[in-house]
Structures are given as structure tokens and as C-alpha cells.
Structure 1
């Protein structure tokens, strides 16, 4: 594996991609594609992943950050999905501490409200049984006031506490890709698949366009896996019925001091009885999520609407009335599009929140497409895809249950606290020694009040295939979400550290800053773009 996975490496490798017939080409650089690549590479397959934008650009950097079993899926009778989810949640907690961390969730109960403590306790008993552990308890109103100052008190009966997990979704993708590359896989961003190549009715390759340098090429493969999320139908034959229902989920991020919560709160929104969350993440507080049909162009980043903003602010007021949170308090926003498999086009569609989160596989000779699915269950989804691919290759394939992540080197990094080390080990895994050398050279200062080290920015520039400034600030790190105005005040210091590492001249840096500001204002500020100028 080349240590310097960057634009210079990309330029060297691009002309060679057509020199061989790959065992497997994976289209899509989100968590689903990364998981498929990782499991194939571990088995010695010659495999290549192609991503048209940036790794985790779509849903996999804009999720609700939860690694969870899906408590509400039990109520819908989706036992297998819940069982797989709780098992994978535990696996990720065990294998990737610091990246996937347990989080206590509290559901307050009010007189006359549903679900009450008894119903909720029953659901959680089943949930815990599927997980093989007891992880819930009820707190009375007095205890809850102590645990959650500022919670709405009118009619409060108490609250039920249970445990799930949170992650940095974009870093999860990068760590899975790192494991795949260590086992010999190749992953490249900025390559768009224009069409599939077929020979006598069987998919045998792809025609790709270099979105950065221009030009196109044809790549050959023995089997193709499509894991493009909401875009999964793009490459399917035009006469096949459309089944995907893109649903938008939007979130707002508040400064941690503005709405301080020590654990996640889940409750039903007064307006539509949908579950919403308020939870601590990266030192800030997330409020989400909405669940609406997304009718906009999928090739544009999704953005929060004025109605969604009002809905999420109303949720804050409903549950934490004393805080008086308003739009002026919002640090940033993000919206993701979930690739939910709905009813076929033309049929009546019900409420978005009633759609199943189960995934499906679509087969054609030489090609397997994954549609739908969840972040938490990326590994079993990848196994399912690869079993179907192996049949086409006439290769044996079993789920041997091997870890997704190798053990992190036991490395002392002077000057870091235990929690800082855990965080960095979780996010960077086997690359920790290289990061440690940068920390030694650059120090262990953090960027503003965030947990992100300046050394992490340098590491990303050197080794994490950054093609544009938003790759660095919105996905390799989350500084664009966590810092006021997208990090505007820190831009000179970021430039000083990163410009030469990225090999950008002054004109290119200026272009990237302008591009980033416009993108941030449109897709991560308030509707109407008012946050950047505050």
C-alpha cells in the first residue's frame, strides 16, 4: 500500500487502470461501497472502487451519525433487520472504539402520551434480548430532572434510558477504505461511470470519465458491484421499473453550550408523531432528523428547507422550552438523501417514515446492485453482495466473521490525554504511527475549541486523497460543520498549513476558497444562506 494516497498518486495510477481485467469493480464511495471493497480485498480479489465525487460525499457523511439497532423496526415487525443491526452495532463498538462509541438515549414520558413507560419497556426488553444484554432502565420524574435539567416538565412521568451508539460517519468510511487498501485494493475519487460495458448481454466493464483532469477510458472487470445509494437506478436498463424513493433527512447543529445535553434524547414531535433526536456530537448538539420526499436534483447536495428548519427548532422548543433556541443559534446544517426502496413508480406511496429500511439486491449477468440499506449493517450487506458476485465468478465465498478493522498499534503519543488517543486511534486505525509523527512535528494543538488537531489536517492533505477544499473541511475533518461560518476565521491558518501539502498555487487556493464558501452557504447554512455573514 502506498502511504501517500493523494492527487500525485492519483495521476500516476489513472493511466494504468485499464491495463488489467479487475476481478471486481465497485461503483460508489460511501459506506456500502467501502464495505464491499474491504471484504473483497481481504479475500485476495483484485478490486477497484470508483467514486464520482468524493468518498462519503453523499449520504455517508450526512447521516444522523447513529450506529443503532433500529428500535422502531421492532414495532414494524422487522426482526431480522433489528437483529442484524444490534449484532453489527456491538461488533463496531468492540472493533472501533473511539470511532464508534456507546451513547445513552433517554425517552421522556408524559401523562397521556404514547409510548408510555410500560410499552417502551416492553419494546426494549425485546431489543435487549436480540442484542443479548440488558441495557435499559426507567427513571422517575425527579431523577430525570436531575439527569436532564431544562427538560419539559408539564405532565412529566419520567424517562426510559437505553444504549445505542454514535460515530463520525465520514471517518468510518475512510477507515474502512484504509483497511481495504492495506489488503491491496485501489480506490479513486473524481471518476464518474458514464455507462456499463456489455458483451453478449453480460456486464464486462465500465466507461469512466475523469471529472478532475478530463478524458475518459474503458475499464474491464469480471464482475461489477453497484453501491451508489440514491443513484442506484442511474445505470440500470431504462425499461426496468423504478423502485427507489429518495428521502431527505435534515439536521441542525447548535453550539454545545447553547443546548447542553449529556446524552441523546429521543421523543415524538408534536406535529406528526415522528421520532426526533437531540444529542451531543463532537462537542456540539445535533437536532434531527426530518423525513421528506426529496424531489430535487440528486447531483446537487441536498439542503435544509425553511419548513424543515422550523420543524427542528419546534422540536427544541417542545422538549427544552427554557432554552429558547432560535435560528440565530445554528452553527451549521446538513441534509442527506436516504436511498429507501419504496413501491414501484406510479403506485401510491405512503408516509416516508413508514417505508422499510430493508435493502434489496438487483441482479443482471455480471452485475449486482445494492439498493437501500443502513449504515450500521454495511458489513452483512457487503457479504450478501459478494456472495452474489462470487456465484457469477464461480468462486467459493463464506462469511468467516473476520474483523473489519485490524487492531490499532499500541503506541504512546506524548502530550495526548487518554480520550484524545482513543479518538485518534478510532479515526485513523493502522495509520496512527504516521499521524503520531506529524503530531510530534506540528504539536498537539486543536483547531479552535474543537477536538480536531492541526496535525489531522496535515495528515489528511498528505494521505487521504483530497481533491477539493470541501473534502478536507466537511469529510476528512468536520471543521466546516463545527466552526462558526464554516471555519471562516481559521482559513488563513488552514491555508498556511495545507496549501503547499496539497500542491495548490495561489490561484488554485483562491478558487477553492470561493468554491467552498459558495457550497457551504448553499448547503450547510440556513435557508437563504444567512449564516456565513453573521
Structure 2
């Protein structure tokens, strides 16, 4: 996947694209892959980097949603459980089975949650990952030895999926190219163009070199997540906003706080949310919050009260109480909730997706969640094909292997997330053994991964590499800042750039990364 090649394809094509997708997060990538795999000539443009926003800031779970079951949204749970099963089949190198325990500290917790999770099992059907069951106190502590034992009665174990969100986004972009579509990052939509009263394309600005261009399309899909309303206002300046923004914050802690491979799920916190403590990349991910915010931002900042909320609840379930000093990273993401629940807490607003078509033919898809991205895309391209009058073509993504597909990957392999591409990274190391050296002692990544990201994964900035191609920023923000200069020098060698570029990149990355440390929150 090469950006220069994508730009050349855009500039050399004079005709109409069948489908033009705005937005390179989970939903937009899913839409572009669905369209390209059907044989439609497809272009995807993203104003920053793939999954820069919400799609790289999730709880890293592919799940049906126990909370939605509690809310009675059976249809969403059914759909999500089905999609969870398909995603595990289509991207086995990125999605793994994860055991969860609901710890019981009251006598009625076990029967209550045990029955609920049996329903969850039944809804999953043949795509289930394993039966839930009640565990004794001893069995619970054997699986999670760092769980608070005082007044613990036992637990209920169940199974869901876990994944690496940003890595899946990169693989989806690669899959779009594999299907002859064109994905390009750092390409901002500055306006919509019209033929009569109908949209027939967009104007673009390359945010890397400032270049401007115009492209034509038979249908334009607005899949911009938290920025959905901005595109809607390009089409209709007086459009009523449809997005309610909700901020979710996660803390990353050392593995000692959750020993073993089993996650904790707390089904009810003070604000009505589920709280997770999940082992992920040899760290512990704890979250999340649900805080209404007024505006969209590419770099939302955690609030002090959100950090305090998570630490307080984590301390109730962990034998060692985590403190601010134990936080390796704190990150925030904004959920694009469809604001049809005015007056409700954001935690109570539906996570169903919302699909609409404007009078000028703009197709807008928003809401939903990572787990259901494929189904959202299928629904969207079905509608877009009708609007554009495209030849009928069935959806192919239910059984489409995502780039990197490889079964039986060893989850302990540090290159597991690359799937079938891991062999090429090892070849880089074979050709130059220094490429096998770690970027930093506290990070699992090696120099060859930086080279690979620049050559084949359209990484253009230091942040692209340290935040999303590798997850260095999320795993240990301080360590990623310490590794920044070495990573920038590697990138510059591949890109043919000089020391001034390195200095600018390191400075900008450290500015952004500072917001991922507790002292940098807003």
C-alpha cells in the first residue's frame, strides 16, 4: 500500500468513480472494502490517518454487548454476536477468543448474571466462543490471582472477542487495495460538487503538500463518524445536527495489576456503564467512561474526573490499588452517537447504526460500533448502489479474508498482528540483523516494523508509526516519546528526508503524546 501510487491513480483517472467514501475509520474502511469487493470503482479519502480518531481508541473488544442485553436491545446483540463470529473467521490473526469473569460479591450476583450470560450464549448460537459457567471463589482466584478476595463469593466466566483496532484498520485499507480500490490518507474533503441538484463529486486538499484536486463520483458516502455533521452541513448548511458526542476514557496499566489471561467485567458502575479490565499486549486496559462532550476533536483529552472514576472502580476489584503514578497511558475517544435520545444519558443512547440519504443523494452512515462495521458497510453500499444506479452485485464481505489472514498464529509471537505479512518483516531482519533490535526496552516493537510501516502501510508521520502501525503510544506513552528520535531517523532513511524533518516530527509527536500522560489531560 503506497500513497504515491494512490495519488497517481487519482490524478490519472478522468472518469467517474462508482463510489467515493469520505472517512478512513472503521465504517468508511468497511464501506470502501464492500464496494471495491463487489467490483465497483472505489475511492476512499481520509483527512488525517486511517483510524486516527475513534476507531483506534476503543476498548479493543469484538463483542455482542452484555450491556445491550441488559437494556433489552436483543436485535443489536444478535447482529453483533453474528458479526463477531464472522470477524474471527475473516481476520484470525487479529481477533482472539478472550475469557471474562464477572466477579460476584453479593449472594444474588451469581444466579442473576449467570442466567443473563446463558442467554448471551444462546444468542451466539453456532458462532459462540464457549459456554459460560459459574466458578467458585477458588476457581475465580486461580484464573485472576490479583482479584480482590475480600467478600468474593465466586464468579461467572464467559467468552468474547478481542482485537487490535488500529491494526485491523490498516489491514482493511490494504484489503481495499487488494480489491482494486484506492485508499488514501491525509486527503481532506473541502467541498461537494453538484450536477444540477445532485452531488457528483468532491473537492480535495492534500494536507501533506497542499495540492488541490476535484474528483467525480456517481455516489458519495459520508462515513466520517464524529465529523458526520460537518459533511452534512457542506450539503445542507442549515442541516440539523444528528450526532451526540460521548467521550470514553481508558487507562493502561502494568500487567501486575491483572495477572493471568482472564479479563474482568463489571456489569454496573455508578454511571450505568460496563467497566472492563482486559489483558492486552502484555498490559492491562481499564475503562471506560461515558461523558457527554460538546464538540468533535481529533485529539480529545481525558478529564481529571474520568481518570479518578476509573481508578476508584478499578481499586474495588484489584488486589493492588492502581494510582495515577501507575498509569502508562490514558487515552480518550469520542463515540458518534445518533442523537435521537435527547434528555437521556449518553450511556443509554442506542448504539444501532443510522443510515440516511439526503435530497441531493449524499449517503450518510453513522453510529454503530467496530463489531458491526461489516454489516453497516453492507447496508450502506446496498443503498449507495441504488442511488448511483450501479450494476447489481451481491455483498462479498461475509466470507472475505482480510489482508494478513492466517490461521493458527501464535498469540505470543510479537509479529502475530501482521499475519501473513510477518514473513516479509522477518526478511527485512534477515537482510539487516540490526532491524531486529527493539525500538525501546519497554516496548515490544523492532526497527523492521517502522521500515515496513513506511514502505507498505502508508505511514507518513511519526505519529502514524508510534500510535497506530505499532501501538507504542498506547502501551507506554513515556517510552514512545523516548523512542521517537530513533523511529524518526529510521523513517527519514526510508523516505529520503533530512534531519530537519526528523526534528519537526519528534517535536510534534511529543506534543501529542504529552496528552496521553495523566499530567497532560484536560
Q: Work out whether the TM-score is over 0.5.
A: yes
Q: Out of 492-501 and 399-408, give the one that drifted further.
A: 399-408
Q: How far 1:407 moved relative to its partner?
A: 7.8
Q: How far 1:433 moved relative to its partner?
A: 4.5
Aligned counterparts, 1:150-165, within 5 A? 150-165=146-161
Aligned counterpart in structure 2 of residue 439 of structure 1, from 413, 421, 429? 429
Aligned counterpart in structure 2 of residue 211 of structure 1, from 181, 200, 207? 207
2:330 aligned residue: 333
Aligned counterparts, 1:130-529, within 5 A? 130-132=123-125, 133=128, 135-236=131-232, 237-268=236-267, 271-296=270-295, 298-320=296-318, 322-343=319-340, 348-364=342-358, 365-394=360-389, 395-400=391-396, 402-405=398-401, 418-419=410-411, 424=415, 427-429=417-419, 431-443=421-433, 444-447=436-439, 448-483=441-476, 485-522=478-515, 524-528=516-520
Per-residue CA deviations over 1:124-156 (Å, capped at 9, x if unaligned) read: 122111111452011012222222223223332
Gaps of 5+ in 2: none
User: Size of the alignment, in residue pairs?
Assistant: 511
Taking the aligned partners of 2:64 and 2:406, their CA distance within structure 1 comes to 30
1:82 aligned residue: 77
Taking the aligned partners of 1:406 and 1:490, their CA distance within structure 2 comes to 31
Is the 2:172–2:402 Cα contact (8 Å) retained in structure 1?
Answer: no
Residue 48 (1) aligns with residue 43 (2) = yes
Q: How far 1:372 moved relative to its partner?
A: 0.3
Per-residue CA deviations over 1:441-484 (Å, capped at 9, x if unaligned) read: 24444443443333222100111112211111001111122235
Q: How far 1:238 moved relative to its partner?
A: 2.9
SS in 2 for 1:174: helix
Is the 2:65–2:77 Cα contact (8 Å) retained in structure 1?
Answer: yes
Is the 2:252–2:329 Cα contact (8 Å) retained in structure 1?
Answer: yes
TM-score by length of 2: 0.92
Is the 1:41–1:185 Cα contact (8 Å) retained in structure 2?
Answer: yes
Q: Out of 125-134 and 472-481, give the one that drifted further.
A: 125-134
Taking the aligned partners of 2:133 and 2:190, their CA distance within structure 1 comes to 53
Is the 1:442–1:454 Cα contact (8 Å) retained in structure 2?
Answer: no
Taking the aligned partners of 1:29 and 1:410, their CA distance within structure 2 comes to 24
Decide whether aligned partners of structure 1 residues 339 and 529 sit closer, same or farther in structure 2, where only a CA change above 3 A counts.
closer
Q: How far 1:258 moved relative to its partner?
A: 4.5
Taking the aligned partners of 2:249 and 2:241, their CA distance within structure 1 comes to 24
SS in 2 for 1:232: helix
Is the 1:250–1:336 Cα contact (8 Å) retained in structure 2?
Answer: yes
Per-residue CA deviations over 1:31-69 (Å, capped at 9, x if unaligned) read: 111111111111111110000011100111011111001
Q: Cα RMSD over matched residues?
A: 2.4
Q: How far 1:268 moved relative to its partner?
A: 4.5
Q: Out of 200-209 and 440-449, give the one that drifted further.
A: 440-449
Q: How far 1:168 moved relative to its partner?
A: 0.7
Decide whether aligned partners of structure 1 residues 419 and 71 sit closer, same or farther in structure 2, where only a CA change above 3 A counts.
closer
Decide whether aligned partners of structure 1 residues 380 and 287 sit closer, same or farther in structure 2, where only a CA change above 3 A counts.
same
Q: Out of 131-140 and 188-197, give the one that drifted further.
A: 131-140
